[in-house]
Amino acid sequence: MNNLHKYGKYLKLIGRETFLSQGKVLVHYPYRLGERDKFNLIENIHKFKRSYSVKMEQPIQVVKSENDKRNYRWINLENGLQAILISDLLEDEEEAEEAPWDDEEEGEHEDEEESHQEEEMETDDEEEDDKGGEKKSAAALCISNGSFSDPPNIPGLAHFLEHMVFMGSKKYPQENKLDDFLSKHGGFTNAWTDCERTSFHFDVEQKYFHQALDIFAQFFIHPLLRQDSVDREIQAVDSEYQMSLPSDDERACMLYGSLAKEGHPMGKFFTGSFDSLKTIPQQDGIDVYDNLKDFEHKMYSAQFMTLAVQSKVGLDKLEKWVREIFSEVPNNKLPRQTFDHLQNPFDMEKFGKLYYIDPVKDKNMLEIIWSFPPMMPHYRKKPLSNLDFFLGHEGEGSLLAYLKSRYFATAVESGHSFNGFELNTTATQFVVNLTLTELGLKRFEEVLMAVFQYIHMLKTKGVQKQYYDEMKTIEETKFRFKEKGDAMDYVERVSENMQLFAPVDVLTGRDFLYEYDPELIAKCLSDLRADNCCIFLSSKLLADKCDRQDIKWCPVKYGVDDIKPDWRNQWIEPPLNPHLTLPQPNKSIATDFALAEVEAKFIKKHPTVLTESDLCTLYYKKDTKFKVPKAYVCVQLLSPVASQSVKSQALLRIFEALMNHKLDAPAYPAILAGYDYSIHTDETGLRFKINGFNQKLLELFDLLLNAVFEYSCDDELFPFMRNKVKRELFNDIIKPAELVRVLRFSVIDPNYQSSAEMYAVIDTLTNQDLQQVLADFRQSIKADVMVVGNVTPKEATCYKDRLESKLSGKLEPANMLKKRLYQVPKQWSCCQINSFNMEDANSSITVYLQSEPGDIRTTVLNELLDTRMEEPCFDVLRTQLQLGYTVYCQNLITNGILGFAVTVQFQAQKFTMREVDNHIEDFLNKFKEILDSMTKDEFDTLVESLIAAKQTEDTYLGEEVKRYWSECTEQNYLFDRLEKEIAVLKTLTLEDLQDWYKQFLGENQRRISFQVLGNPEVEQADMSATGDEMEPPLKKANTARGHQSYTVTPVKDASYQDHQCITDICKFRSGLTLHDHHCITK
């Protein structure tokens, strides 16, 4: 199970919901080695871990940021469980009230303080702004056991157990009781299994925290582990495994693990599957159920657990709750299982070679990997962070800058991620990961030489303290002004930190550089040698070199060669490369952290228009809540050129890649110093956003502004940028989850330019085409600028003035893109295409139901419907029917038109598309019974939950800015939307919701089932192979698929009647009505 919620998780086994900006999504993020996710869901962390077991009588004072107003207390329970209590109660606040417990017959509950239900949820606007809205409570429990502890004859048991404890407890026997309770009270839960740790975490409305904590604790006090739940949850684990099979990261990880010595836990199969958890154990006479119960008894014991809880109540009350509830967790008196005696995990005969990989995605990657002794004991010194700083640097004179100048590479990442595979008690993996161009792939020997030239240069120059001091200053400054962030993410991390760092360092251990040890740094640098590295080279162009497919549980195709002795000899004493130099001192480090003072008339609750002209509008808000010396500047450049054609959109994508490519070196010092930027193009134009300490933010803004209006591309660079974008487009459309979204928009949005369409034309584009589109684009722009944070009106106006000086020509409103949408007819239709990846059995279906142009009332009704449907949708379609690992419902607003969708991702060999479609339809019909039987009290609780969610505080400045900026990007500009929605919610009745369902999801639905069909004839890798070489998976393309194509071409499914199938999108749309452009502002 996984939570990639804002901060990201790394190399964790996962299995519950993940919230992304598009809505509620269940996503599998697989095991990975090296390449970090380009959307920053996975952090590149340079920090180190150590296990601590503490028993203390004296209070521990954790080191916290001066910007952190929360109070902390570390306690130890008599059963051995350790807990950190975090009180989010400010001095001028009252404790959160506690609601009466549900199901009180299931357990006794007493509290010294009187609890009562709030009669009304009215909020004074000014008071709400001062207090920052409602706060969520959260808890996380981390266990110091994970997949390394799997018995060798039942791979995946730890991950399977993590699934099973959700299936009811003695006190709360209902399956998914916690999910059900949280979904009714604005909460969310998640879990993951790593190599040496397992984590469970949740958040919820404040006043329901006490009972949620009790339900949560029963996972570890007396889980039922019902035998009748076993087969269903094995199916869930298997679906997760099957979904991971097309993942290149998962495949590379499994290949890397196969290099471990016989019996070493890094060589285990962690995920688990139907075969590993049922078929093979049954054949071998192994009772998985008995082993599951025994594993739970041995591993889920109080002395192995660390707990972090955060709530808006005092520390004394938190301690009372934790002691009363978690003292019941049993202690089995067993010692902690350790693996630190298993150092040097790899068979160097296999490790020190060159491995070729045939990937699923179109990407050219070079990874050089060194295996170090475990570095967790050195977390206070972080020697590998020093090496990471240099090898992962992107500024002038860096390894990447040199490779880019030769058109060999486009990106570099180095170090290790903060996961149990790359960082554990047996070893630490240090990776240099390079994204190559095709030229770099052809000349990868020269790329390798450059890497070792840079390493040799570092060794020659020796360890230099100035860089350590610079890194230390940056990390301490970031921590000094660290903002609160999401409560669940925070306790999840803190509970894990408690397993790794000394108590005093539990908030700083990942980031701080405490001690300078040049000898240790030099020793680590000396271990980056030519004779002790492993090399992975991955590209679809290497398919002819990949003649093996013998990794058990994994269909990776690979080949292996010895590393040539003359290469190694050259790498030991490489020639000097004058283009490689040490970084210059970082001039982007902020030194002025004063908070700006502005006149009272400029202090507003929401952004307001500060100045505007025909060319540009400036929205401004001075921060008075977070009180940090930071700011955000967001720019939107609207232009009709972007939507002129598929080619113009593809060319702007190439320009986006070009800007990022050219900005890498000049902007990198600012990135290191805590600043950030992003650039995005779509059918409306171009947007960029910068943030960081306000002192030097204008310098970064000027850099971005120059990129947008001055950058051009020479004929030599253009094909490299075009090919980079082409690979990105391909890698998007081969994912069924993305392709089903492409299909939906291709049918209903007249202005949508899909990734598949851009992929089809990109080879025809030239540099001359790009220059023409840029010239046209720069001559026809209407701009929006939003400045929020520690900035005065004068400083904000400066950003607008500098942008406006680049603009020319008035853009008439009539020429702007009008976002419209086709009205789906009142009938039951389907639109099916085959997956573009012939070796992927994963299918995806989205049943889309369209309503009418929305207003605030119908928008919140649709949200209520989604909130109530969320848990039963998951429970019925995933837990009970086991249709697939990924199941979710969404309320949608598409170009101002309301909609609703249910999505299931499943394997084509397990269910037909029609079967899953029918199950979704049955569920939607039966859901009417849930609404019809809903009581007024249940409806009031539902409304209260949604209001509380909308009143939840923004926990950092960027969260507030994101909400405001979305109003600009959607061109609604309704910055007080939440207040208006809350006011409408208070007027709604149960009958309103029931009528909305009947009108929307009842008879005469406007319904299309969008379907991407995986290949059911692909044999899966879930076999009982012994590791010997075996035949590759069968690749029988059925005749309906024919020649491989990457165009969105619907196919006929014989299980549907002719009139139900959309087989020609253009013909289907020709008979539809277009909704007018619509904004939801009232």
The DSSP result for 620-638, as a single string, is EEE--SS--SEEEEEEEEE
Please report, for the domain that includes residue 661, its CATH number: 3.30.830.10
Burial class (CB in 10 A: 0-12, 13-18, 19+), 1: buried
Residue 37 pLDDT: 31
Of 647, 830, 748, 669, residue with least CA distance to 1074: 748
Residues 609 and 559 in one domain: no
Evaluate whether 942 touches 868 at the Cβ level (below 8 Å).
yes
Q: What is the pTM of this model?
A: 0.89
Residues 563 and 610 in one domain: no
Residues 895 and 772 in one domain: no
Of 852, 864, 838, 848, residue with least CA distance to 895: 852
Residues 557 and 621 in one domain: no
CA dihedral 852→853→859→862, nearest 10 degrees, is: 20
The answer to whether residue 133 sits within a structural domain is no
CA dihedral 735→736→741→742, nearest 10 degrees, is: 70
Residue 123 pLDDT: 31
Q: Give me the half-sphere count of Cα atoms (radius 13 Å) on the Cβ side of residue 15.
A: 33
Residues 161 and 290 in one domain: yes
Residue 58 pLDDT: 54
Amino acid identity of 223? Answer: P
pLDDT tens-digit profile of 722-768?
Answer: 999 999 999 999 999 999 999 999 999 999 999 999 999 999 999 99
Which residues, in sequence order, are CB contacts of 43 under 8 Å at separation 6+? 7, 8, 10, 36, 417, 418
CA 676 to chain centroid: 18
Q: Compute CA distances 854 → 858, 896, 1075, whole Å.
A: 6, 6, 11
Q: Give me the half-sphere count of Cα atoms (radius 13 Å) on the Cβ side of residue 1002.
A: 11
Which residues, in sequence order, are CB contacts of 813 under 8 Å at separation 6+? none
Cα torsion angle, 138, 144, 147, 151, sign: negative
Residues 914 and 1007 in one domain: yes
Whether 110 is catalytic is no
The most distant pair of C-alpha atoms in the chain lies apart, rounded to whole Å, by 80
The answer to whether residue 119 sits within a structural domain is no
The answer to whether residue 123 sits within a structural domain is no
The answer to whether residue 502 sits within a structural domain is no
CA dihedral 342→343→349→355, nearest 10 degrees, is: 100
Residues 23 and 172 in one domain: yes
Residues 689 and 803 in one domain: yes
Region for 99 from its dihedrals, namely left if φ exceeds 0, alpha if ψ lies in -120 to 50, beta otherwise = beta
Terminal CA-CA length for the chain: 40
Of 386, 347, 357, 352, residue with least CA distance to 369: 352
Residues 245 and 372 in one domain: no
The total domain count for the chain is 4
886-894: strand order across its sheet: 828-834, 1006-1013, 842-853, 897-907, 886-894
CA dihedral 256→260→264→269, nearest 10 degrees, is: 30
Residue entry with tokens 């657990």: 305
Last residue of a domain, one of 815, 839, 868: 815
Of 1005, 1078, 1042, 1077, residue with least CA distance to 828: 1005
The answer to whether residue 2 sits within a structural domain is no
Token code pair at residue 1012: 């991407």
759 phi, psi to nearest 5 deg: -60, -35
d(CA 269, CA 193): 13
The answer to whether residue 955 sits within a structural domain is yes
Burial class (CB in 10 A: 0-12, 13-18, 19+), 738: middle
Which residues, in sequence order, are CB contacts of 600 under 8 Å at separation 6+? none
How many other CB atoms are there within 10 angstroms of residue 407's CB atom?
A: 17
Of 121, 119, 106, 107, residue with least CA distance to 186: 121
Of 457, 452, 496, residue with least CA distance to 47: 496
Last residue of a domain, one of 274, 295, 326: 326
- Residue 208 is inside which H or E element, if any? none
Candidate list 162, 205, 413, 871, residue with the active-site label: 162
24 phi, psi to nearest 5 deg: -80, 125
The answer to whether residue 339 sits within a structural domain is no
Residues 776 and 853 in one domain: no
Low-confidence ranges of the chain (pLDDT < 70): 1-58, 102-133, 1019-1045
Last residue of a domain, one of 772, 793, 815: 815
DSSP single-letter state for residue 58: S
- Residue 354 is inside which H or E element, if any? strand 353-358
Residues 747 and 837 in one domain: no
938 phi, psi to nearest 5 deg: -65, -40
Residue 811 pLDDT: 81
- Residue 580 is inside which H or E element, if any? none
d(CA 379, CA 377): 6
Q: Give me the half-sphere count of Cα atoms (radius 13 Å) on the Cβ side of residue 536.
A: 31
Compute the radius of gyration of the chain from its Cα atoms. Answer: 28
Which residues, in sequence order, are CB contacts of 92 under 8 Å at separation 6+? none
3-state secondary structure of 76: strand
d(CA 996, CA 927): 13
Which residue range forms the structural domain that includes residue 745?
600-815
Residues 476 and 433 in one domain: yes
Token code pair at residue 550: 């013998």
**Entry field: residues in the chain:** 1082
